[in-house]
Amino acid sequence: MVSDAVIKGKALNLNADAFAAIHLLQSGDLNKADALHDRLNGLKTRQEMDEDSLRRIATTALDMLREAHNALEDAHLQMKAQRTRIETLESIATTDELTTLPNRRGFIEAFDRELDRTTRGQTKGGLLLMIDLDNFKLINDTYGHAAGDGALRLVAETLKTTIRRMDTAARLGGDEFVILFSNADVMGAVDRAQQLAMRLNALTLRWQGEKIPVRASIGMRAYAAGDTVDAVLHGADSSMYAVKAKRAARAKAEKVRA
């Protein structure tokens, strides 16, 4: 027979543990609350719980334990829902809604990580392509902004099907896109860039019975250990505008000859 003193002592300890579980839950220490819950739950199977007096005294503590457990489960569910909301918001913040490509912010974050890996010798560098549509304003002015959006989506889908899983394609804004050929041999990446330029300049947007040609200029800038995001972007941007100027001059000369 267990003595009254022992029963009261065990019951007081059980009550104290139940209160402690609730306090841990309220304080946000879910790991310790979980551990204490498991220990308290195990007490129900002990031999001394057969004592009627201890059962009566322990009933309140066990009820409190169940309430604490339910509250703990609710807290876990709320945390999971909160993590989901945060992930959704982060995705929205770094994704271009029209094309579903990463936006400028998403690309800068990805490129910054890639440059860090390159600087630490984990990758060998690669090539950044800056892409700008030559006739985007003309498409908008002639066929409307919906057609312009269609051209942007067409270009985005072309980039998605061109790059490797390890590469990154993004829309920086307007009709400006960028591709990061990461951890790539520069000469091989240049060949891929030239093939992409040919593919982009052969695109045709089918719009309300019309066949609208899509044309693009591409600039390139290799990157290596020690480079910065701004320097590489500026170099690719300058290269792209030089290509665009040459294409415009060639088109003008051809028009004069015609």
Q: Which residues are tagged catalytic?
A: 175
Calpha distance 247→176 (Å, rounded)? 17
Calpha distance 188→8 (Å, rounded)? 80
Q: What is the largest CA-CA distance in the chain?
A: 114
Calpha distance 49→247 (Å, rounded)? 88
Asked if 176 and 103 touch (Cβ cutoff 8 Å), the reply is no
Burial class (CB in 10 A: 0-12, 13-18, 19+), 82: exposed
CA distances 120 to 225, 226, 228, Å, are: 8, 9, 14
